[in-house]
Amino acid sequence: MAIRSFSQHTPVLGARAFVDRSAVVIGDVEIGADSSVWPLTVIRGDMHRIRIGARTSVQDASVLHITHAGPFNPEGFPLLIGDDVTIGHKVMLHGCTLGSRILVGMGSTVMDGAVVEDEVVIGAGSLVPPGKRLESGFLYVGSPAKAVRPLNDKERAFFTYSAGNYVRLKDQHLAEGFDRPE
């Protein structure tokens, strides 16, 4: 794995966190306990902070970045992600805030300043535009993402099931040494 310091910030991994050897994690990044970062993912906290909660899974080829502070956005936007979040393959998260118990479908993009409340499903290929708020308890799909219906009990139960499944899988990968260089 490539864990790289940048500008006096070194990524911090929580207990039993897994970062695949092909992933890159840079700068002011904290990854919570039992979370996992899968192959070819880039998490770049080079100009603002990234915080990832516990039991959160960042799937293959995802890109997580921030919005820097500057003349067009004096405070910038960190990237903040809660607990028990499953981030699908090839997801782009940029300077946004995600609560807990969320599923971000494959190939989705969540833009600068967007806020996703707890217990939300974002359908595959969706685009959450800058500054948009997704309210808790709904399935959102499309470009731009729109609420299409409330979540049912089975979908709500899936959040912790998915998180637990990836905790078990990352434990297997840790045991086989896939977090260490070849």
Q: For 69-78, what is each residue's pLDDT tens digit?
A: 999 999 999 9
- pTM listed for this prediction: 0.97
In the structure, what pLDDT confidence band is assigned to residue 111 with cuts at 50, 70 and 90?
very high
Q: Please check whether residue 58 is in contact with residue 86, taking contact to mean a CB–CB distance below 8 angstroms.
A: no
In the structure, what pLDDT confidence band is assigned to residue 177 with cuts at 50, 70 and 90?
confident
pLDDT for 35:
98
In the structure, what pLDDT confidence band is assigned to residue 1 with cuts at 50, 70 and 90?
low
The predicted-structure confidence for 114-169, as pLDDT tens digits, reads as follows 999 999 999 999 999 999 999 999 999 999 999 999 999 999 999 999 999 999 99
Q: What is the mean pLDDT of the chain?
A: 96
Residues 6+ apart with CB under 8 A from 64: 41, 42, 43, 44, 50, 52, 58, 79, 93, 94
Domains of the chain: 2-175 (2.160.10.10)
Q: What percent of the chain has pLDDT over 90?
A: 96
Terminal-residue alpha carbon distance, the chain: 10
Q: Which amino acid is at 161?
A: Y
Q: Output the CA angle 44-47-53, nearest 5 degrees.
A: 50
Q: Please check whether residue 65 is in contact with residue 82, taking contact to mean a CB–CB distance below 8 angstroms.
A: no
Q: Is the pLDDT of residue 79 over 60?
A: yes
pLDDT for 77:
98
